[in-house]
Amino acid sequence: MRSMWSGYVSFGLVTIPVKLYAATEDVRTPLHEVHTCGSRIRHRRVCEREDREVTQEEIRRGWQAPDGEVVVLGAGDLEHLPLPTLKTAEVLGFVDDGDVDPLMYDRPYWAGPAGDAAQRPYALLVEALARHGTVAVCKVALRTRERLAVLRPRHGMLVLHTLRWPEEIRDPGDLTSSAPVTDRELQLAEVLMDALAGVDIGDLRDEYAVALEQLIVAKVSGRELEADAEPEPAVDLVAALERSIRDARGR
């Protein structure tokens, strides 16, 4: 597994060399952009001034001033920012996992120990987090921006989960519902929740990928697939809940 960041986790005066590895991957059926004739669509990088296609090696980051002047930044410039979190994820404090708004979670990374010197302090932090029952809040610079993150133990390793900044969470505005519900409806909803308890997430699979493969096979063979009918909202909530409970208990 190839690391995408190397640096340190700072826990008080304890410094732990670590490397970050992507903890997730896409396993979807790949779809390409194509023209209606079936030919691939290509996106090329073109220099506006020279009107020519450029290679990846020629591309840099840049900032444009209000007067139009562009400041070009090379890879070496970004690697030497005067920013402590560029190479160190400093633990700022510890909070209960439930205190972190789920909307803030972004991307998870395995944080593995880097070298022999990291083994004991790494194991200490993993075990201490597990026994303490909290997650460590830290900040780290990844992919040209500083990110808020939490560290948590999982299977004897550290997981660094980047978070959205609080200001990045959008206010739902007037999307919430103020419709009243009855005690009977609430009681039946709770009974249905109990009847549907115990789902094993590990047994669930991506049905979209299966349906997409069926569509592709049908297209190749010249057949048409019928789409599933859209569900209709229940008019009588009590009747719908009672039937749902019977169906759930009969599984």
Q: Per-residue pLDDT for 205 more than 90?
A: no
What class has domain 5-24+80-168?
mainly beta
Q: Tokens standing for 74?
A: 């090379």
E strands, the chain, in order: 5-11, 14-22, 46-47, 52-53, 61-64, 70-73, 88-95, 105-113, 135-142, 145-154, 157-163
pLDDT for the residue 54: 94
Count H helices and E strands in the chain, helices first.
5, 11
In the chain, CATH 2.40.290.10 covers 5-24+80-168
Say if CB 192 and CB 241 are below 8 A apart.
yes
- pLDDT tens, position by position, 209-232: 888 888 888 888 888 888 778 878
Confidence (pLDDT) at 155: 93
User: What global pTM score does this model have?
Assistant: 0.80
**What is the pLDDT at residue 251?**
67
- The per-residue pLDDT for range 41-89, each reduced to its tens digit, is 999 999 998 999 999 889 888 889 899 898 988 877 777 777 888 899 9
User: Cα(203)–Cα(194) distance, rounded to whole angstroms?
Assistant: 19
In this predicted model, what pLDDT tens digit does every residue of 107-160 receive, in sequence order?
Answer: 999 999 999 999 999 999 999 999 999 999 999 999 888 999 999 999 999 999
